[in-house]
Amino acid sequence: MARFRYVIADVFTGTPLTGNQLAVYTDARAIPEDRLQDIAREMNFSETVFVLPPEGDGHVRIRIFTPASELTFAGHPTLGSAFVLAGPLQLTEIRLETGIGVVPVQVEREGARISFGRMVQPVPTWKPFADEAEAAAALGIEGSSLPVEEYANGPRHVSFRLESEQAVTEVDPDMGRLKKLGACGFSTFAGEGSEWKTRMFGPGLGVDEDPATGSAAGPLGVHLLRYGLIESGQEIELTQGVEIQRPSKLYVRVTGTTERIESVEVGGEAVIVANGELQL
């Protein structure tokens, strides 16, 4: 019987049993390829990571699976993997090879403990979202006060700005209808200045509601900068996951102009809460 070690971390939080859960299989070399998706479904977290030797100039390569499919990139698995792996490797920056390329993560320490991490995400592409009316209907909202566009940095994300944080809290999607729109995340958000509230629904990705979505946080920052709601280099705080009892905090900083985005950084805390072995 083969045994494979995993670590469980709660990501985008400093408090155990909140934030977004992540399982990291720290040495996946001997796990059969055809069992990776099965294991992610068994863990049943938003994402599960499998760590492999690097193929290029990264420290390690990671593969990311939701319960339904493999992703080329996702935010909380990348940040959480950095917390799990950078400590034993005694690194201040860990370079993680993902399906979209190498993502560097800078980590800060309080003594031996990693206290914060910040990843440099790929600058997303964007285009108008063709199914805006159907997505709004599936979300149960009237629409967005900003243009609705589809951002891609690996995963695809679409965001709707609502009139208040209370309106975001009250969103009650038709998950079956939303799932028919495909493998895309749909966010609702509200706020101003440096404080914003968001929720992300992704039934087509295998996750009805995500507690903290790092891959959506970067594009949301880009969206806010492009439409003049934040300034270049301004750090904003996103609150997510409250409605599903997994409160999370994500920190986003985007530099550039409304015409040209230069960099996207997403950071937060994480805590390791468990470890164990899977037997196959």
Alpha-helical regions (H) of the chain: 36-43, 75-89, 132-139, 165-169, 175-179, 214-226
Residue linked to tokens 């031996």: 112
Question: What number of H helices and E strands is found in the chain?
Answer: 6, 18
Question: Is residue 4 a contact partner of residue 261, using CB atoms and an 8 Å limit?
Answer: no
Q: Which of 33, 42, 47, 243 is catalytic?
A: 47
**Spatial distance between the Cα atoms of 10 and 22, rounded to a whole number of angstroms:** 6
**Spatial distance between the Cα atoms of 25 and 29, rounded to a whole number of angstroms:** 10
Question: Is residue 45 a contact partner of residue 23, using CB atoms and an 8 Å limit?
Answer: yes
DSSP 3-state assignment of 125?
Answer: strand
Per the annotation, the verdict on 150 as an active-site residue is no
Strand pairing partners for 7? Answer: 24, 275
DSSP 45-94: SSEEEEEE--SSSSSEEEEEE-SS-EES--HHHHHHHHHHHHHHHT-SEE
CA distances to 19, 188, 208, 270 from 253, rounded to whole Å, are: 20, 19, 27, 18
- Residue numbers annotated as active site: 47
